[in-house]
Amino acid sequence: NDTRITKVGYILRRYKLDEFPQLFNILKGDMSFVGPRPELRYYVNFYSEDDMKIFAVRPGITGLASLKYRNEVELLEAADNPEQYFIHTIMPDKLRYNKTYIKQQSLLLDIKLILQTIITVVTK
């Protein structure tokens, strides 16, 4: 219902096709298909030293936290104070997922997450 988003833009976002340009970043080697997605610089200022571990790996289009919080916008819209909810609830949880990914990182896990992402995008 956002007047800034066109019908085409809605479809692109709905089916995650707005992520397509990031394939160029993968080809350049700046990104990976799977990995943590760092937050905006403003939110990185809230990271602890331990949280900075997520910068040791390439960011990805999808990952454990991306799948868990695919409906982040809806969660924030429902919150009384979206900013505080993000900083104190969502962000710490996403960081835990991202650190778990780093510890368990493997080709098999990446394949599983890519398949999970495709299934999620196609069925939702």
Instruction: Kindly indicate the confidence band of residue 66, based on its pLDDT and cuts at 50, 70 and 90.
Output: very high
Domain check: are 36 and 17 in the same one? no
Both 109 and 60 in one domain: the answer is yes
Give the confidence band of 68 by pLDDT, cuts at 50, 70, 90.
Answer: very high
Q: Could you tell me the sign of the dihedral formed by the alpha carbons of 53, 56, 61, 62, in that order?
A: negative
Whether residues 21 and 52 fall in one domain: no
The lowest-confidence range among 15-19, 45-49, 77-81 is: 15-19
- Domain of 61 in residue numbering reads as 31-123
Q: Are both 59 and 18 inside the same structural domain?
A: no
Give the global pTM.
Answer: 0.81
Q: Are residues 17 and 75 in the same domain?
A: no
pLDDT score of 122 more than 90: no
Three-state SS string over 59-92 comes to: CEEECHHHHHCCCHHHHHHHCCCHHHHHHHHHHH
Q: Do residue 64 and residue 11 come from a single domain?
A: no
Same domain, 11 and 66: no
**3-class DSSP state for residue 52?**
helix
**Maximum distance among all Cα pairs of the chain, rounded to whole angstroms:** 42
Beta partners for 34?
A: 62
Mean pLDDT of all residues belonging to the chain? 89
Domain count for the chain, please give it.
2
Q: Based on the fold, state whether residues 21 and 35 are members of the same structural domain.
A: no
> CA-based angle 59:63:71, to the nearest 5?
115
Q: Which pLDDT belongs to residue 63?
A: 95
Same domain, 14 and 55: no
pLDDT digits (tens, 9 = 90+) for 38-64: 788 999 999 999 999 999 999 999 999
Does residue 11 sit in the same domain as residue 50? no
Residues 65 and 80 in one domain: yes
